[in-house]
A and B are shown apart, each in its own frame.
Chain A
Amino acid sequence: MGNTGRLLRTWAMLMSLSLAFAIVADATRPTRLSHVALLLVGVVAVLKARLVLADYLGLRATPTALAGFSTAVVAIIALVVLSFEFPVSLFARQ
């Protein structure tokens, strides 16, 4: 029952974080995201990914692998989020 309870808790947390995503999506539709909202979306995505890695994929028992895969996910999301902070004028086509 312990493992089932942990998986249920993980699922509930993932669904709660997804609901937070839905609220952000609805509230920010017509406008560009603020710096804080960009960061929030990135952090929530990383938290969800880490929960899947640790509990669904079972990497909690192998901390090195968990750290490695988590770092890869953080790097991908961080680079995409940071690209929204670049001055667009540097890249826009003339």
Chain B
Amino acid sequence: MRREEVVDISTAVVDEDGWGPLSGLPGHPLMWVLIASELAVFGLALLGYAGARLHDPIAFAAAQDHLDRLAGVINTAVLLTSGFFAALAVDARARGRRGAARLRLTLAAALGVVFLVVKSVEYSRDLAQGFDIDSGGFFTIYFLITGFHALHVVLGIIILAIVLRFDSPGNYETGASFWHMVDLVWIVIFPCLYLLR
């Protein structure tokens, strides 16, 4: 006699929050959808860069020589330290230490402003040397990718400011997740645009 197995789909497939496997991730599940989308966008942009470089590697290498690598290294350190403070802020808020959490998140946002200042100085030097978004394939892609990333840093600072105003532990996790995504994207962008040649 065949035995029928009865499976309750409502509990087997979808958890009670309705987010499936995303429910186990820190912060709001929708933020993880956004993080995955952003990684895909920046990943495709970098693959586009790699493809364009293959058509004219000599011109790309010559243009790349004009980039300020020291500024890129400084900005990497600034973002990584900012991410460190954001992670510390989430930890402090989870322990109920609201004052410490606010101070750390403020430091994270302040370092985001430092990143933008360094990037602005770098852009102004590029422009002073006569390189802008129309200065050949490399600089078009460079300004598009790094400019789009800088826009995410601005958005991240706004999100961190909102979290400081509405400072629940969940909001800390969600806001910090976006901030770390910005960090992660820079970690991938920097070697691809500045170092690989």
Residues of A within 8 A of B (CB): 3-4, 7-8, 10-11, 14-15, 18, 21-22, 24-26, 28-30, 32-33, 38, 41-42, 44-45, 48-49, 52-53, 55-59, 61-62, 64-65, 69, 72-73, 75-77, 79-81, 83-84, 86, 88, 90-93
Is B141 close to A, CB under 8 A? no
Contacts A33-B197, A45-B191, A88-B54; is A55 near B87 (CB within 8 Å)?
Answer: yes
Contacts A4-B88, A84-B197, A91-B55; is A45 near B26 (CB within 8 Å)?
Answer: no
Q: Are A80 and B65 in contact (CB under 8 A)?
A: no
B interface, over-half SS: helix
Q: Are A77 and B192 in contact (CB under 8 A)?
A: yes
Q: Give the CA-CA distance A72 to B32 in the complex, in Å.
A: 14
Residues of B within 8 A of A (CB): 21, 24-26, 32, 36, 39-40, 43, 46-47, 49-51, 53-57, 61, 65, 69-70, 72-73, 76-77, 80-81, 83-84, 86-88, 90-91, 173, 176-177, 180-181, 183-184, 187-188, 190-192, 194-197
Least CB distance from B15 to A in Å reads 14
